[in-house]
Amino acid sequence: MVLVVITGRLKNPLIPVDAISICMNINGWDAMIALGFNAAISVRVSNELGGGDFKRAKFAVIVVSITSIAIGIVCMIVVYTTRDYFPYLFTNSEAVAEETTKLAILLGITVLLNSLQPVLSGVAVGAGWQSLVAYINIGCYYIVGLPAGILLGFTFKFGVEGIWSGMIGGILLQTIILIVVTSVTNWKKEADEAESRVAKWGGGGRDADM
């Protein structure tokens, strides 16, 4: 939504705002799927780590990541193949439809990234790294993505494409950082720590079950 607000500060914002609003609407539909994965994987990872089963936690991360990427690729292909047609579901204006078609490339990239990024955030939350995810989100969106979008859109005169590209850069950076964090994680250590916390707080863990 910040994209829409910033786009409204362009010299002739009417058509770009209409076009990016259409794209954000479609992106919102795809985001609902990703948010569902986010909630599911955060609960699954926290449960498995709390139960001391790091292998199942790691396996769940791999499965949901592959699934979300596959869904993201399908959604991206749908956006690209229908980019000349889907704008007319929202507008009768040829100018708005043409601008929306131009933005479809950025929309496809955003749809793909937004299919994976919430899943990785859910994994981090499930593992108990809430503060880390918060700092990564703030840094990538508001320290990197937003300033980069403003520079590209206004200083370098790329308009709405530049504004959106800057935010995509922030999302991409966030995704890369979360992939690295998830990849280098010692899941056995995380499971042991989670199990000890569960035992300390009265859950018992594996030893209580045995």
Digit-coded pLDDT (tens) for 64-89 = 999 999 999 999 999 999 999 999 99
| Sequence-separated contacts (24+) of 198-206 with Cβ below 8 Å | 198/50, 203/50, 205/50, 205/51, 205/52, 206/51, 206/52
Inform me whether the pLDDT recorded for 152 exceeds 90: yes
- Asked whether residue 30 is domain-assigned, the answer is yes
Inform me whether the pLDDT recorded for 173 exceeds 60: yes
- Asked whether residue 1 is domain-assigned, the answer is no
- Write out the residue range of the structural domain in which residue 63 sits: 15-198
From residue 164, give the alpha-carbon distance in Å to each of 31, 58, 85, 141, 178.
17, 33, 21, 12, 21
Inform me whether the pLDDT recorded for 164 exceeds 60: yes
Name every residue whose Cβ is closer than 8 Å to that of residue 123 and which is 6 or more positions away in sequence: 41, 42, 45, 61, 64, 178, 182
- Asked whether residue 64 is domain-assigned, the answer is yes
How does residue 199 score in pLDDT terms, banded at 50, 70 and 90? confident
Counting the structural domains of the chain, the total is: 1
Inform me whether the pLDDT recorded for 203 exceeds 60: no
- Asked if 157 and 128 count as a contact pair (C-beta separation under 8 A), the reply is no
- Asked whether residue 207 is domain-assigned, the answer is no
Inform me whether the pLDDT recorded for 202 exceeds 70: no
- pTM for the model: 0.89
CA dist., res. 76 & res. 113, Å (int): 10
- Asked whether residue 7 is domain-assigned, the answer is no
